Copies of this chain bind each other. A is one copy, B any other.
Amino acid sequence: MKLSVRGEYALRALLVLGLHYDQSVVRIQTISEQQNIPKRFLEQILNDLKSAGVVESRRGVSGGYRLARRPEEITLATVVRHIEGALAPVSCVSERFYEKCTCPDESRCAIRSIMKEVREAIVKIMERTTVATLCERARLLQHEAVSPFDFSI
């Protein structure tokens, strides 16, 4: 039931790009350092996100990456589906990556029916959560961390 490291890196990178939205582009190097992601690996991932239309890039000396759409428009579901494939725990309940399973009768499979619920629960969260949500939350968490000082004295 795990997200791959690749998928996690993608989200971390998008968070960084989200925090720099409508500022200048961000270099791979910068993201790599900030997030402890191997640079050459991150290259691949960002390139992949580019082909998904999630980010866009500028080459050359002052090059780098930025979001191709507004942060509110990029859902985690989109990103993870593009990087990993199905969100569903078994592919026989996946909408976009459906595969027939080996059970005797899929239409009356009790496990399938439960797994549909799990899928729904996951998709619901991943579909309503966007890069903008991540950014808000990051700012909030950053603030929370400092707040104890606000209340001192």
Contacts and interface: CB of A to CB of B under 8 A. Distances in A.
A121 interface: yes
Contact of A122 (B108, B121, B133, B138): B121
A137 interface: yes
Given A12-B111, A118-B122, A3 B90 contact: yes
A122 B1 contact: yes
Nearest to A129: B114
- Tell me the interface secondary structure of chain A in the complex: helix
A118 B111 contact: no
B113 A137 contact: yes
Interface residues of A, number: 49
A117 B125 contact: yes
Interface in A90-132: 90-91, 101-104, 107-111, 113-115, 117-118, 121-122, 124-126, 129
Q: What 7 A-B pairs have minimum CB-CB distances, sorted nearest first?
A: A110-B138, A121-B121, A108-B141, A110-B137, A3-B89, A110-B134, A36-B102
25 contacts: A1-B80, A1-B84, A1-B86, A1-B122, A2-B86, A2-B88, A2-B89, A2-B90, A2-B91, A3-B89, A3-B90, A3-B115, A35-B102, A36-B103, A76-B114, A108-B138, A109-B141, A110-B135, A110-B137, A113-B141, A114-B125, A114-B137, A118-B125, A118-B126, A121-B125
